[in-house]
């Protein structure tokens, strides 16, 4: 037992010196792909300024069968938020903004639901998830892909989002405020967010294969890029991999393991490039990596963590007495994880082309534990067993919902009639939603999110199930109609039928009024 423990402690610190240890990690990654049905993954580890591991596994696309390697580009999604924070820090160093400046100083037309908040929200509030907006509130303005709303539209529509919590009281992860922060960068610099990131960060840092957005990578003719994959009926299938341009500041960057190792090295080297240029002052680094808003930590936890929360574009916590700076990112069909333990000069990056967070956690935690001197916790089995049970419970719940719907379908006299609900509904921040009936089937189409369309299936006398055409969304929802005394719909609300639905499918914040 002691011999095995000692071997574990040195396993990953010796990756660059021996094939046996490297093969152990190779094997873990291969087994992780199989366990969570992930077509492809790339993994990088940097220690003391040296890349000790950088490899790709599996395929970048099930359609092409092309191998995934260390240069395969992946949308890093919300790991882009650290770049947004860094961009603002650069502008702060140049004296072009202050973190405590009011947003209205740069975007005069910016308004919150509460006039008081309009005058109080600062740039720092935008990038700390503390404005009072709830988890994912407003995300339907850009999510899923293919929406019609512009950055200007989103900035305007913020005024219709009624905050779910008190201002600066809680950490509620929210993308919309990062989009506003990106617009601040544009107003100050005269560049789009993607242009600023490429010119002022990616190129100086040496991330020469990376782009500020998916569309910019495609326009450049990049071929070594993943296709995204999501589980449908229990099996990963290819889905569209793109990102709405309006949300670049929240998650637009596309990169690879090689460049993300360069990014990790830059950050842990005091935000200093390889040619010795310091892009961000120590004063601003302290702001970026200081806890700005906290979140509760369990009294007993794996890493004896005492604090957790968010800085300016980064999650922060302590693990076994070491400060950890990290973030994750997720699009439909791809998830990523970026982890730094600065005082150990350790960086771990996992990029995938399937949306299984358990997969990247398995790799990151195993690598991290080794460097922290912790015993093997068999994260693969732990996450594998947990996800198997979770998925089984989720599928059982969904089947029960649809079974109830099938039973109700036999009660024709109790079902909603087309004339009761068809027509156009409007939500102030989301726009129009059209309900129609072709004589057989009810249909729903969201005008500002045209990919969000599907069938309405009777569930109870005043509730329908929205079954989206794109089954990779896994976001079917209940649509509850509020009927007047004549049985005519006046309004409607939605909520997901299952907990598995991504929080960015922000159905519960919609307040649809019949036109």
DSSP letters along 282-327, please?
Answer: HHHHHHHTS-SEE----SS-TT----EEE-SS-EEEEETTEEEEEE
Q: Which CATH number fits domain 391-514: 2.40.128.50, 4.10.93.10, 3.60.150.10, 3.40.50.300?
A: 2.40.128.50
Q: What is the mean pLDDT of residues 57-66?
A: 96
Asked if 293 and 310 touch (Cβ cutoff 8 Å), the reply is: yes
Dihedral (C-alpha) 60, 66, 71, 73: value to the nearest 10 degrees? -40
pLDDT digits (tens, 9 = 90+) for 88-102: 999 999 999 999 999
Taking the C-alpha atoms of residue 69 and residue 225, their distance in angstroms, rounded to an integer, is: 10
pLDDT tier at 7 (50, 70, 90 boundaries)?
very low
Say whether pLDDT at 325 is over 60: yes
pLDDT at 242: 66
Say whether pLDDT at 326 is over 80: yes
Taking the C-alpha atoms of residue 104 and residue 119, their distance in angstroms, rounded to an integer, is: 7
pLDDT at 181: 98
Q: What is the mean pLDDT of residues 219-237?
A: 93
Closest CA to 113 of 151, 149, 164: 164
Taking the C-alpha atoms of residue 504 and residue 114, their distance in angstroms, rounded to an integer, is: 23
Say whether pLDDT at 344 is over 80: yes
pTM: 0.94
pLDDT digits (tens, 9 = 90+) for 98-124: 999 999 999 999 999 999 999 999 999
Phi, psi of 20 (to 5 degrees): -65, -50
Q: Which long-range contacts (CB under 8 A, 24 or more apart) does 216-225 make?
A: 217/73, 217/254, 222/73, 224/60, 224/66, 224/69, 224/71, 224/72, 224/73, 225/60, 225/72, 225/73, 225/74, 225/254
DSSP string, 111-123: --SSHHHHHH-BH
Mean model confidence pLDDT for the chain: 94
- For the chain, give every domain's residue range: 2-377, 391-514
pLDDT digits (tens, 9 = 90+) for 158-174: 999 999 999 999 999 99
Taking the C-alpha atoms of residue 222 and residue 264, their distance in angstroms, rounded to an integer, is: 23
% of residues, the chain, pLDDT over 70: 96
203's CB contacts (< 8 A; 6+ apart) are none
Q: Is 268 helix (H, G, I), strand (E, B) or coil?
A: helix
Q: Which residues pair with 458 in a beta bridge?
A: 464
Q: Is 410 helix (H, G, I), strand (E, B) or coil?
A: coil
pLDDT digits (tens, 9 = 90+) for 374-420: 998 999 999 999 999 999 999 999 999 999 999 998 898 899 999 99
Q: What is the mean pLDDT of residues 330-338?
A: 95
pLDDT digits (tens, 9 = 90+) for 286-319: 999 999 999 999 999 999 999 999 999 999 999 9
Q: Find out whether the peptide bond into 466 is cis, omega within 30 degrees of 0.
A: no
pLDDT tier at 21 (50, 70, 90 boundaries)?
confident
Q: What is the mean pLDDT of residues 190-199?
A: 98
pLDDT at 5: 37
Q: Which CATH superfamily is domain 2-377 in?
A: DD-peptidase/beta-lactamase superfamily (3.40.710.10)
The alpha-helical segments, DSSP class H, found in 16-150 are: 19-36, 81-93, 115-120, 123-126
Are domains 2-377 and 391-514 of this chain identical in fold?
A: no
Phi, psi of 363 (to 5 degrees): -70, -50
Closest CA to 476 of 449, 445, 460, 499: 499
Say whether pLDDT at 11 is over 60: no
């Amino acid at each position: 037992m002691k011999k095995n423990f000692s071997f574990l402690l040195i396993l990953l610190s010796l990756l660059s010196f021996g094939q046996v240890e490297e093969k152990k990690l190779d094997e873990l990654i291969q087994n992780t792909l199989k366990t969570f049905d992930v077509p492809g993954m790339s993994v990088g580890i940097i220690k003391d300024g040296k890349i000790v591991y950088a490899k790709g596994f599996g395929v970048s696309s099930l359609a092409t069968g092309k191998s995934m390697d260390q240069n395969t580009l992946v949308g890093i999604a919300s790991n882009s938020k650290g770049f947004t924070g860094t961009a603002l820090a650069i502008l702060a160093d140049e004296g072009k903004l202050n973190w405590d400046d009011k947003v209205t100083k740069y975007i005069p037309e910016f308004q919150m639901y509460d006039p008081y908040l309009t005058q109080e929200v600062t740039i720092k509030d935008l990038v700390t998830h503390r404005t009072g907006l709830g988890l994912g509130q407003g995300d339907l303005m850009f999510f899923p892909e293919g929406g019609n709303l512009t950055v200007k539209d989103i900035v305007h529509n913020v005024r219709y989002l009624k905050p779910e919590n008190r201002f600066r009281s809680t950490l509620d992860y929210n993308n919309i405020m990062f989009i506003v922060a990106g617009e601040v960068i544009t107003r100050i610099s005269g560049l789009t967010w993607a242009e600023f990131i490429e010119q002022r960060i990616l190129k100086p840092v040496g991330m020469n294969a990376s782009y500020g957005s998916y569309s910019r990578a495609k326009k450049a003719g990049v071929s070594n890029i993943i296709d995204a994959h999501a589980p449908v009926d229990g099996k990963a299938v290819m889905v569209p991999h793109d990102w709405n341009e309006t949300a670049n500041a929240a998650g637009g960057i596309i990169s690879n393991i090689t460049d993300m190792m360069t990014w990790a090295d830059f950050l842990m080297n005091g935000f200093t490039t390889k040619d010795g240029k310091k892009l961000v002052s120590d004063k601003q680094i302290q702001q970026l990596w200081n806890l700005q808003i906290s979140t509760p930590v369990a009294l007993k936890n794996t890493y004896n963590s005492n604090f957790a929360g968010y800085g300016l574009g980064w999650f922060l916590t302590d693990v076994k007495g070491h400060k950890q700076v990290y973030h994750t990112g997720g699009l439909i069909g791809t998830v990523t994880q970026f982890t730094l333990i600065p005082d150990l000069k350790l960086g771990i990056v996992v990029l995938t082309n399937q949306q299984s967070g358990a997969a990247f956690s398995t790799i990151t935690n195993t690598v991290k534990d080794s460097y922290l001197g912790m015993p093997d916790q068999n994260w693969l089995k732990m996450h594998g067993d947990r996800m198997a049970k979770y998925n089984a419970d989720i599928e059982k719940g969904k089947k029960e919902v649809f079974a109830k719907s099938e039973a109700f379908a036999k009660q024709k006299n109790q079902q909603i009639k087309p004339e009761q609900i068809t027509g156009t509904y409007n939500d102030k921040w989301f726009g129009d939603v059209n309900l129609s009936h072709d004589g057989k089937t009810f249909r729903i189409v969201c005008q500002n999110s045209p990919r969000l369309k599907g069938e309405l299936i009777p569930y109870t006398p005043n509730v329908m199930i929205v079954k989206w055409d794109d089954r990779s969304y896994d976001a079917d929802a209940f649509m509850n109609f509020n009927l007047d005394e004549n049985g005519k719909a006046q309004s409607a609300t939605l909520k997901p039928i299952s907990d598995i639905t991504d929080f960015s499918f922000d159905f519960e914040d919609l307040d649809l009024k019949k036109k």
